[in-house]
Structure 1
Amino acid sequence: MSPTASAAPRLHVISGKGGTGKTTVAAAMAMALAGEGQRVLLCEVEGRQGISQAFDVPRLGEEETKVARGLGGGEVVGLSVDAKAALMEYLQLFYKLGRAGGLLERFGVVDFATTIAPGVRDVLLIGKVYEAVGRTPGKKRGDTYDAVVLDAPPTGRIGRFLNVNHEVADLAKVGPVRQQADSITELLRSPQTVVHLVTLLEEMPVQETLEAVEQIGDLGMRVGSIVVNQVRESPLSDAALAQLDDLDPAPLEAHLGEAGLRVGPVLVDGLVQAGRDLGARVALETEERGALSAVGLPTYDLPLLPQGLDAGGLRELATALHDQGAV
């Protein structure tokens, strides 16, 4: 079966500006899919071991390793794709180099190839994902996956990373590398693939997200959704925030004193300023959310986890994605 034979999305590419939590969202997406009873492969390609940190498991290597079980009976399998290992596997697959491949690595040829030709490097990295998506069902279910989630490079590099056939055009016009790039591009442009963009309600992440939406569309690929991460609920109502604009702090100081609190002008002024700062942040977030809404894509919110990311927090995020219809 060809990787593009089915119209159902099976490859979920997760990208976002650095610092927005795209690895966390990728892990939550994988857990949400596993909660539906699916067997999910969660891949990373940047060598940061973000998956092992998210699931609190040992460092991932070249082997596909189960990292979590979903509440619905599914499971999440993790894989950290390394360009050097992918090239060695590629050389063995197409050219049967055997021990000669080891000699190439010893003399630095592998490092040279994966560094000097970034387009080829990306073909090798995505090639592992492509292979997993296209596996035909065998006798053992452990050989195949219902869905693949890719923790991709950040939005600043996502266009180049996904545009593999263009990146190798001058390096390989024919041959296995070119054929691989063309096949990967066919998958990425098919209904089987969706790109999800992660952002915060801040100016720079939102701007990069909007630029990535346009860039991915120009590549003939589909943005499935925008995930707004680390959403915080305002502790004050809109009416209360509006009153802070011209609030006289003297009555507030008197009321706090009547309540038995020992306060002075400095503390009260600090409280009022903190409220005004909160109002400015809420106004900025509202403006940025409006910019995101203007592109007309499904948008899902994930809450800020004050306690940090742990197993419970990851399930909370996965549940939020599920309940909002992201999977």
Structure 2
Amino acid sequence: MSRLHVVSGKGGTGKTTVAAALALALATEGQRTLLVEVEGRQGIAQVFETEALPYEERKIAVAPDSAGASRSDSSRGGGGRRAGEVYALAIDAERALLDYLQMFYKLGGAGRALKKLGAIDFATTIAPGLRDVLLTGKACEAVRRKDKHGRFVYDAVVMDAPPTGRITRFLNVNDEVAGLAKIGPIHNQAQAVMRVLKSPETAVHLVTLLEEMPVQETVDGVAELRAAGLPVGGVVINMVRPPVLDPDEVDLAANGARAGIATALSSAGLGGARRGGRAERLIDPLLEQAREHAERVALERAEHTEITGLGLPTYELEQLPEGVDLAGLYRLARDLRTQGPI
């Protein structure tokens, strides 16, 4: 089982929502999960309907146990299973650099002085690669951190990562840094990060929709991750639409079924099927909608086949009719749990 779950996906596929649902799904049976944000969008706060996250690890949710009870439920009536907890952290590159300077160079006071002078902001702005080094390093530090008893502080860490188009470079930046800095603490830190990112402890999950562009980016992303030696986890198909017609009805819609529709409308009391009648006037709009639906179903089938052809575990999350609120987030987490380990 992986301990660092990196969630990426094309913009608009709902990767932040999936990352949040995954964190809840992993935080069961007393497990503690850290949900990490690296893009500075405060997307986690929005999903959990809470205030903006500071640069500190803060508990934002209590996960239900495997029986579906929250902590308040499972603590009643004596001896229920303990629910898990989800903590969240919005990583700030400047603050992470200050941590880095203190950790490796004991420059706490000097680092704060550099921040006042604007040097920290200057460094992270002119060197985008440095920003990625700091972000990945902070996440991996949380994965490796242990308490005074030698136990991991977090059972799992979930990272809401950059989009698919740059996820490989984002995760692989420490390889480049280790090659540039041949010795010293920077080299050692970069190698330590890559040991985590390229180990079985890590899994990179890609979120997609059953649409051509997101699926193509997912296929390309998987190829790039594999070529870089980064561990690919699974593919989460998000916002899956519930079936409206069964397969036979879809085929009829694709081929047109004018006479059948006219008869059905007449049977429903919507007027006779005579030319110019009420039922007749409804046929063409209904056929057009049916054709559009059939085309959509055919496209989704083809894209689904493309995804399963990757040979990766696949998970499906339904499109919530009312949008994603906190209750919907817990529902998605439950759906992930029921589909097996991720």
The TM-score, its normalising length taken from structure 2, stands at: 0.88
Deviations 1:234-258 (A, max 9, x none): 2111111211234353663454244
Q: Which runs of 5+ in 1 are unaligned?
A: 1-7
The aligned length equals: 319
> Does residue 244 in structure 1 map to residue 259 in structure 2?
no
Task: Report the residue type matching 1:119 in the other structure.
Answer: G
2:292 match: 277
Alignment of 1:122-271 (within 5 A): 122-138=132-148, 144-168=153-177, 172-247=181-256, 249=258, 252-253=261-262, 255-261=264-270, 263=278, 265-271=280-286
Partners in 2 of 1:79 and 1:266 — Cα distance? 58
Distance in 2 between residues matched to 1:258 and 1:289, nearest whole Å: 37
CA displacement, residues 262-289 of structure 1 (integer Å, 9 cap, x when unaligned): 6465543121111111110110111011
Instruction: Render the CA deviation track for 1:151-208: whole Å, top value 9, x for unaligned.
Output: 1111001011010233325753433222211111111111111111111111111111
SS, match of residue 163 in structure 1: helix
1:307-322 counterparts in 2 under 5 A?
307-322=322-337
Whether the aligned pair in 2 keeps the contact of 1:160 and 1:167 (CA below 8 Å) is no
- The yes-or-no answer on 1:304 pairing with 2:319 is yes
Structure 2 CA distance for aligned equivalents of residues 29 and 255 of structure 1:
45
Determine helix, strand or coil for the equivalent of 1:168: helix
Residues 1:144 and 1:248: Cα distance change in structure 2 (over 3 Å): closer
The SS at the match of 1:62 is: coil
1:14-25 residue pairs with structure 2 within 5 A? Answer: 14-25=7-18
Which amino acid counterpart does residue 312 of structure 1 have in structure 2? Answer: A
Residue 3 of structure 1 corresponds to which residue in structure 2? none
1:215: how far off?
Answer: 1.1
**What's the C-alpha RMSD, in Å, of the aligned pairs?**
2.0
* Structure 1 residue 95 displacement after superposition: 2.5
Are the equivalent residues in 2 in contact too, given 1:225–1:297 (CA < 8 A)? Answer: yes
Determine the structure 2 residue equivalent to 1:121.
131
> Given that residues 120 and 177 in structure 1 are in contact (C-alpha distance below 8 angstroms), is that contact kept between their aligned partners in structure 2?
no
Q: How far has the Cα of 1:123 moved from its partner? A: 1.1
Is the contact made by 2:254 and 2:290 (CA closer than 8 Å) also made in structure 1? no
- Displacement after TM superposition at 1:38 (Å): 0.8
Pick from 50, 54, 57 the counterpart of residue 57 of structure 1. 50
Shift of 1:71: 1.2
Q: Which amino acid aligns with 2:133?
A: V
Contact 1:15–1:22 (CA under 8 A) maintained in structure 2: yes
Residue type of the alignment partner of 2:29: E
* Aligned partner of 1:86 among 72, 80, 96: 96
Whether the 8 Å contact between 1:300 and 1:326 is mirrored in structure 2 is: no
Q: Distance in 2 between matches of 1:164 and 1:67?
A: 30
Structure 2 unaligned regions, length at least 5: 66-82, 272-277
**Would the alpha carbon gap of residues 88 and 259 (structure 1) be closer, same or farther in structure 2, given more than 3 Å must change?**
same
Supply the distance in 2 between the matched residues of 1:292 and 1:250 (Cα, whole angstroms).
Answer: 38
Matches of 1:206 and 1:251, distance apart in 2: 36
Provide the residue aligned with 2:37 in structure 1: 44
- Compute the TM-score of the two structures, normalised by the length of structure 1: 0.91
Q: Is contact 1:47–1:81 with CA below 8 Å preserved after alignment?
A: yes
* Distance in 1 (alpha carbons) for counterparts of 2:314 and 2:112: 47
- Displacement of 1:140 after TM fit? 10
In structure 1, C-alpha distance between the alignment counterparts of 2:304 and 2:260, rounded to whole Å: 35
